[in-house]
Structure 1
Amino acid sequence: MTLTDLPGRPAGPPGELERAGIELAAAADRADARLAALPDPPARSAEQRAEAEAAHDEARSLRAAFMDEHADEVYDVLTARRTRHLRLDELVEAAADAFPGLCPTAAQMAAERARPQDAKEGREIDQGIFLRGVLRSPAAGSHLLDAMLRPTPRALRLLPEFTATGAVEMEAVRLERRGAVAHLTLCRDDCLNAEDERQVDDMETAVDLALLDPSVRTGLLRGGEMSHPRYRGRRVFSAGINLKKIGSGDISLVGFLLRRELGYIHKIIRGVLDDRPGVRPGGRWRSRLTDKPWAAAVDTFAIGGGMQLLSAFDLVIASADAYLSLPAAAEGIVPGMANLRLVRSAGPRLSRQIILSGRRVRATEPAARLLVDEVVEPEEMDAAVERGLARLDGEAVLANRRMLNLAEDPPDALRAYAAEFALQQALRIHGADVIGKVGRFGARPR
């Protein structure tokens, strides 16, 4: 989709959007020419790094101003006046094609993906500027959030298999329907369920399937047994983001950091937006979304992204020997939506202790009752989970959790937070301090 393809665009000379786009493309070309004259990022001297920063700053200032002024117009071009529902990856690719210089090209992103984090040019920051502009807009941003709530093509392909057999085995997640409960088991046993892009894709697929299957009434997320030497045979919930994957350059802004938050986690809270023809005919006046209650069972620990997840669940049961922590500040990154959601449940003081100071909260501490609903001995976990799932199966639970989520997690608040998160997290994963911290995990083998 290009400017001239936009339905209803008046004929005649270029308007303000076109003129601004031409200016932006010229600035991006100038910046790319300056960068091309420099060595690759790791080989640059201090003076050359300053030159690269100046080149980026010139183009990024224009990108930010362009989106501040034209975000809705740009989004309408890319989505044919909001008749197309583009996911994050599709949207940034469409923006690169329709508005040269606004987002990195496919070739530029392919070059970035081939490099470890310390050798990247940082072009995801440009994607962050673009997505911040889109999400800041109530019209464009809300439409994008809805697009991300739609079921993925992979889930729709697997749905007949899951409804027929009640089981789907993926690399990072095992999905099994037992009675009316969808059991999602995190099964990256070698890395303590550390999160990467494979895990995000598998989780969104599993959440979609659980929500789309009419036989499922509730969902449960739990970690499986580990083969890791230190925790062999024990269940572990999650070790959070895979720091080795950050160092090797395999954790992306669009494919992991934003997709995780606006994809499967948002679907756990809000539900899936399934508007396929023939699905619930005549019933959409009740709700556009198909949502269900969710429980989480925390064994051993929930670190980083694992702890972030808990705020999305209606019921959290923790083993008495478990602990929770958010070491994102020590790692140098922003802990997803925790800054938005944790303060609502834990309050400002405890939230700052956890996020800014890395406080570890053990399940048996009084403070843990602000983070989990029930704490039981390890041998009692299975029975406690079954009791909790039974409580979530009440007839009024669905309506009330929907209203609670609207009060605690209003879509406009999420949209505004996600807008700033898109840029701040892009800046953080390319920060020198983060690159230094994750560098010890080594670059991708060649």
Structure 2
Amino acid sequence: MAYQNLLSEVKENILYVTINREKALNALNKDTLAELADVIAFAAKTDEVRGVILTGAGEKAFVAGADIKEFSDYSGQQGQELAKHGHDLVFNAIENSPKPFIAAINGFALGGGLELAMACHMRIASDNAKLGLPEVTLGLIPGYGGTQRLTQLVGKGKAIEMITTASMITAVDAEKIGLVNYVVPQMDLISKAQEILNVIKQRAPLAVAAAIKSVVASLNETDGYVVEIEEFGKCFETEDFKEGVSAFVEKRRATFIGK
């Protein structure tokens, strides 16, 4: 996986993805989004990958937003196409991935950057991070799921406040309202994400994927309970279920193979 705007590496079943545009505060341009789409698809289809840590290069920014110059002269139709393309290939693709994604927010997460972090299944922020959706200062609204996912995470009132004021909040305040899972010193950011994924790696991969699908369905489906029931039933057909039950009865640690 050789990219121009990303660094990617699989180590011990974890895929590390770093948006590597430090001079541009890791802003999302078309090329970066295309590379993200590719690496997200790779993660989903590669058995070796059991989880993903997504972060930004340097200590200033996770992603400071989208590259505004690229769409400054777009028509309304072009704007809709831009949003739909990003939703389908990047933001929704992360949320719907069978592999858990953790955003390691190492600085500013603004606009499309916060939307990218919110698409991930979990978020860990360094104590210097600042988060916000400043789109209304440009005469826009969040277009990569920000109005929906922020509301899901923090509730309607706080979401409307953050979006309409365009105010940034600190990592500590983000944790208080449920926008991030943990706040840690920057030097501990990746190790905290590793700690969580190393626990998940011990669990049955197909069950983890089914759990993610069911939780996401609780927000996006007409009846998430139906999805949960279906996924629960499918788990009974897996070799991992048989191994998990045997290990429980035999009082030993299960060895899951993802089948």
TM-score normalised by the chain length of structure 1: 0.46
The equivalent position to 1:220 in structure 2, one of 32, 53, 70, is 53
Question: 1:198 aligned to 2:31?
Answer: yes
- Residues 83-113 of structure 1: per-residue CA shift (max 9 Å, x gap): xxxxxxxxxxxxxxxxxxxxxxxxxxxxxxx
> 2:217 and 2:170 mapped to 1: Cα distance?
30
| Offset of residue 248 of structure 1 | 6.1
Q: Which residue of 2 aligns with 1:47?
A: none
Q: Which residue of 1 aligns with 2:63?
A: 238
> 1:206 and 1:245 mapped to 2: Cα distance?
22
1:147-226 alignment runs, 5 A limit:
168-225=1-58
Q: Which residue of 1 aligns with 2:246?
A: none
Q: Is the 8 A contact 1:362 1:368 kept in 2?
A: no
Give the RMSD, CA atoms, in angstroms. 2.4
Amino acid at match of 1:295: I
| Offset of residue 207 of structure 1 | 0.6
Question: 1:340 aligned to 2:148?
Answer: yes
Amino acid at match of 2:129: A
Q: Is the 8 A contact 1:218 1:294 kept in 2?
A: yes
Q: Cα gap change, 1:306/1:176 in structure 2, threshold over 3 Å: closer, same or farther?
A: same
State which drifts further: 388-397 or 339-348: 388-397
> 2:176 and 2:170 mapped to 1: Cα distance?
7
Amino acid at match of 1:332: G
| Offset of residue 187 of structure 1 | 0.6
Amino acid at match of 2:149: R
Amino acid at match of 1:371: L
The equivalent position to 2:188 in structure 1, one of 350, 358, 380, is 380
- Residues 318-358 of structure 1: per-residue CA shift (max 9 Å, x gap): 00110101001111112021112211110111101111111
Q: Which residue of 1 aligns with 2:230?
A: none
> 2:60 and 2:80 mapped to 1: Cα distance?
30
> 2:135 and 2:162 mapped to 1: Cα distance?
9
Q: Cα gap change, 1:257/1:189 in structure 2, threshold over 3 Å: closer, same or farther?
A: same
Q: Cα gap change, 1:332/1:411 in structure 2, threshold over 3 Å: closer, same or farther?
A: farther
Question: 1:263 aligned to 2:67?
Answer: no
Q: Which residue of 1 aligns with 2:108?
A: 301
Amino acid at match of 1:381: L
> 2:155 and 2:180 mapped to 1: Cα distance?
14
> 2:151 and 2:19 mapped to 1: Cα distance?
27
Q: Is the 8 A contact 1:197 1:256 kept in 2?
A: no
> 1:387 and 1:367 mapped to 2: Cα distance?
18
> 1:249 and 1:171 mapped to 2: Cα distance?
25
Greater Rg by CA: 1
> 1:404 and 1:411 mapped to 2: Cα distance?
13
Q: Cα gap change, 1:367/1:388 in structure 2, threshold over 3 Å: closer, same or farther?
A: closer
SS in 2 for 1:296: strand
Bigger proportion of residues as strand: 2
Question: 1:313 aligned to 2:148?
Answer: no
Amino acid at match of 2:211: N
> 1:390 and 1:410 mapped to 2: Cα distance?
30
State which drifts further: 325-334 or 377-386: 377-386
Q: Cα gap change, 1:218/1:265 in structure 2, threshold over 3 Å: closer, same or farther?
A: same
| Offset of residue 169 of structure 1 | 2.3
> 2:31 and 2:86 mapped to 1: Cα distance?
11
> 2:192 and 2:87 mapped to 1: Cα distance?
28
1:121-136 alignment runs, 5 A limit:
none
> 1:220 and 1:367 mapped to 2: Cα distance?
19
- Residues 138-159 of structure 1: per-residue CA shift (max 9 Å, x gap): xxxxxxxxxxxxxxxxxxxxxx
Q: Is the 8 A contact 1:345 1:370 kept in 2?
A: yes
> 2:119 and 2:221 mapped to 1: Cα distance?
13
Q: Cα gap change, 1:377/1:369 in structure 2, threshold over 3 Å: closer, same or farther?
A: farther
Q: Which residue of 2 aligns with 1:402?
A: 213
Q: Is the 8 A contact 1:341 1:409 kept in 2?
A: no
Q: Is the 8 A contact 1:235 1:300 kept in 2?
A: yes
Q: Is the 8 A contact 1:223 1:236 kept in 2?
A: yes
TM-score normalised by the chain length of structure 2: 0.77
SS in 2 for 1:343: helix
Unaligned runs of 5+ in 1: 1-167, 226-233, 272-290, 413-446
Q: Cα gap change, 1:182/1:358 in structure 2, threshold over 3 Å: closer, same or farther?
A: same
Q: Which residue of 2 aligns with 1:350?
A: 158
Amino acid at match of 2:112: G
> 2:113 and 2:175 mapped to 1: Cα distance?
18
Q: Cα gap change, 1:303/1:411 in structure 2, threshold over 3 Å: closer, same or farther?
A: farther
Q: Which residue of 1 aligns with 2:137?
A: 330
- Name the % identity: 23
1:67-146 alignment runs, 5 A limit:
none
